[in-house]
Amino acid sequence: MNTIIQTYQLTKKFKEDEVLKPLDFSVKKGEICALIGKNGAGKSTLFKILAGQLFPTTGEIQLFGKSSKESENEKKRMGFMIETPAFFPDFTAVQNLEYFRIQRGVVEKKRIYEVLEIVGLANEKKKQFKDYSMGMKQRLGIALCLLSNPDCLVLDEPINGLDVEGIMEIRRLLLKLNQEKNITIVISSHILTELKLLATRFVFIKDGVIVDDLSKEALEEKSRKQILLTVDDSVKAAQLLERAYADIQFKVLPNQAITIQNHVESSGKINRLLVDNGVMVKEFRIEALNLEEYFLGLVEGNKHD
């Protein structure tokens, strides 16, 4: 699989404040990589370095296998949306994109109409930017990123401040770009539940350090459902579970509580097994450790087993 972004021991200091500690980070072709961290974790700093808006203190970046010294052409294959672009409020979408097309030296004028079609703004010909909803503004921002036909989009908080409908629109758009146009996407956001519906990979960053890097499958595994039950005799319940299910994974907790990590789909049978064998079940529920909790556990140091 081709590597599109690769950083080697990348650091960034502002005076004495080390915002990025030696960072090795890579993105492969075709991924939707979510960068997750609190404000000040280093996400925007990393994106600005990738975009050439900031210079790293030390370390190196490669784009499409070329080092930053030889990657001017490679940078043109990237589309960045790091802060909301400064569009002209009295211009329509076409007028705004025409301004940026000329400024950026994009030859084909028809590209404007192509990108507006892709982001679903082709029918908003007369509406001025100042009359756009927040979701439409973000979609125009993505259209601007697509103007130069990039292979990779880097989007900093593109769903921030959007309502539920706006978030869904952006999600559908990004999935379409990834699946139909084979565009690699790096995205940051605080809305973790939303990223779970979109990303194929999750990179957690805290204080300028990557603290975890998980595939979608690994994250599902970490945030999977479990059965939580409280009984009157946890020792007897444990023996019954082990006899009935050879591969059962469970933990006996204080106060006669037990969590069961697998066989969640057999919850009814497990409940019946205990009751039929004289174990009194006081509480029985299925719970999921969600991405939000997992993230908080990582970035705030609360450990979830």
Calpha distance 15→64 (Å, rounded): 31
CA dihedral angle for residue 151, residue 154, residue 160, residue 165, rounded to 10 degrees: 10
Residues 160 and 255 in one domain: no
> Is the same domain home to 244 and 187?
no
Tokens of 56: 């790293």
Q: How far apart are CA 7 and CA 154, in angstroms?
A: 15
If you search the block for the tokens 């009984």, which residue do you land on?
231
pLDDT, tens digit (0-9, with 9 covering 90-100), for 116-130: 999 999 999 899 999
d(CA 185, CA 202): 12
Q: Are residues 51 and 168 in the same domain?
A: yes
Compute how many other C-beta atoms are within 10 angstroms of the C-beta atom of residue 34. 25
Give the domain range for residue 278: 225-288
253: three-class secondary structure by DSSP: strand
What does the pLDDT read at residue 91?
97
Q: Whose CA is closest to 83, among 23, 160, 13? A: 160
Is 186 within a domain?
yes
Q: What is the pLDDT of residues 24-43, one digit of tens each?
A: 999 999 999 999 988 888 99
Q: How far is CA 189 from the centre of its chain?
A: 6
pLDDT of residue 301: 53
Q: Is residue 305 part of a domain?
A: no
**Does residue 302 lie in a domain region?**
no
What integer is the mean pLDDT of 227-234?
94
Mark whether 169 and 275 lie in a shared domain: no
* Residues 250 and 107 placed together within one structural domain of the fold: no
**Per-residue pLDDT for 75 more than 60?**
yes
Do residue 115 and residue 179 come from a single domain? yes
Same domain, 50 and 167: yes
In a domain, 11, yes or no: yes
Assign 250 a pLDDT band (cuts: 50, 70, 90). Answer: very high
Is the pLDDT confidence value at 303 over 50? Answer: no
Residue with tokens 């296998």: 65
Mean pLDDT value across residues 8-33: 95
CB 7 within 8 A of CB 61: yes
Confirm whether 293 is domain-assigned: no
Q: Are 20 and 208 in contact (CB under 8 A)?
A: yes
Range 212-239 average pLDDT: 89
3-state per-residue secondary structure call for 35-52: EECCCCCCHHHHHHHHHC
Residue 292 has pLDDT above 90, yes or no: no
**Residue from 126, 120, 177 nearest 154 by CA:** 177
71 or 249, which is more confident? 249
* Lowest-confidence segment of 111-115, 220-224, 299-303 by average pLDDT: 299-303
CATH number of the domain enclosing 143: 3.40.50.300
Residue where a domain terminates, one of 174, 192, 220: 220
HSE of 258 in the Cβ direction (CA atoms, 13 Å)? 26
CB burial of residue 254 (10 Å; 0-12, 13-18, 19+): exposed
> How far apart, in whole angstroms, are the C-alpha atoms of residue 62 and residue 74?
9
How large is the average pLDDT for residues 53-65? 93
State the Cα–Cα distance between residues 194 and 197, nearest whole angstrom.
Answer: 5
Percent of the chain's residues with pLDDT above 70: 96
For residues 191 and 268, membership in a common domain is answered with: no
Percent of the chain with pLDDT over 90: 71
User: Does residue 236 sit in the same domain as residue 209?
Assistant: no
Same domain, 122 and 244: no
Q: Which among 220, 252, 275 is the end of a domain? A: 220
The whole-chain average pLDDT of the chain stands at: 90
Pair 27, 153: CB distance under 8 Å: no
- Examine the domain organization and report whether 177 and 262 are in the same domain: no
The verdict on residue 298 lying in a domain is: no
Helix (H, G, I), strand (E, B) or coil at 78: strand
- Whether 295 is covered by a domain: the verdict is no
pLDDT band (50, 70, 90) for residue 1: low
pLDDT of 299: 65
- 3-state SS track over 83-115: CCCCCCCCCEHHHHHHHHHHHHCCCCCHHHHHH
Per-residue pLDDT reduced to its tens digit, 142-200: 999 999 999 999 999 998 888 889 999 999 999 999 999 999 999 998 777 888 899 99
Residue 279: give its domain's CATH number. Answer: 3.30.70.100
Rounded Cα–Cα distance for residues 57 and 184 (Å): 27
Report if residue 19 sits inside a domain.
yes
DSSP state string for 266-301: GHHHHHHHHHHTT--EEEEEEEE--HHHHHHHHHH-
Provide the Cα torsion 94, 130, 186, 60; round to 10°: 90
Domain total for the chain? 2
Which of the listed residues 220, 246, 261 is the one where a domain comes to its end? 220
Whether residues 255 and 151 fall in one domain: no
